[in-house]
Amino acid sequence: MGADYFCGGFGGIMIGIFTPTEAGGIGTFAVIVLSVARRDLSFKKYLMSLREALGTACMMLLLITGSTILGHFITVTNIPQAAADWIVGLPINRYVVMFFICLIYLLGGSFIDDLAFMIMATALSSIRQFSNLGLTLYGLVS
C-alpha cells in the first residue's frame, strides 16, 4: 500500500500534475481517508497524532528561531571580524588557516541560520586575502 502512495505522488510530480508540497498534502489526505475507511484510525488517535505533529513542528520552529537569534547576536557583536584579525596575526602556515576556515564553515553551517552565517562569513574573505590563499583554492573549498 505504501508503495502505491509513493509511486502516485512521485509520478504526479514527475508528470507535472502537482508540486512536491501538493503531493505531500494529497498523500497525507489519502492515508487518512484509507485509515478511516479501514477503521484503523479513531478520532482519539487522530487527535493524538495531531498533538505529536504540532509538538514536532513547534520544536523545529524553536530551533530555527534560536539559530537565527544566535547568528544575529554573533554578527552584531563583531565576533567574526575579531576572529579574522586574530587569525591573520598568527604565525602559521596558510594551509592550516584554510583548514580552520573549513572547520568554521562546517560548524557554522551546522548551527547558525543561513543568512546570518553568510553575513558572518564575509570576515573569512579578509582572512583569505591576508593569508595569500589563491582565489581558486578558496572558492573550491568554501
Q: What is the pLDDT of residues 116-133, one digit of tens each?
A: 777 677 766 666 665 666
Average confidence (pLDDT) over 45-69 = 88
Average confidence (pLDDT) over 43-47 = 89
Q: Is residue 49 one of the residues assigned to a domain?
A: no
Q: Is residue 121 one of the residues assigned to a domain?
A: yes
The domain of 89 spans 67-141
pLDDT for 30 equals 85
Q: Is residue 9 one of the residues assigned to a domain?
A: yes
How far apart, in whole angstroms, are the C-alpha atoms of residue 94 and residue 15? Answer: 51
- Is it the case that residue 99 has pLDDT exceeding 80? yes
- Is it the case that residue 46 has pLDDT exceeding 80? yes
pLDDT for 131 equals 60
> Please, which residues have CB within 8 angstroms of residue 132's CB and are 6 or more apart in sequence?
94
pLDDT for 126 equals 65
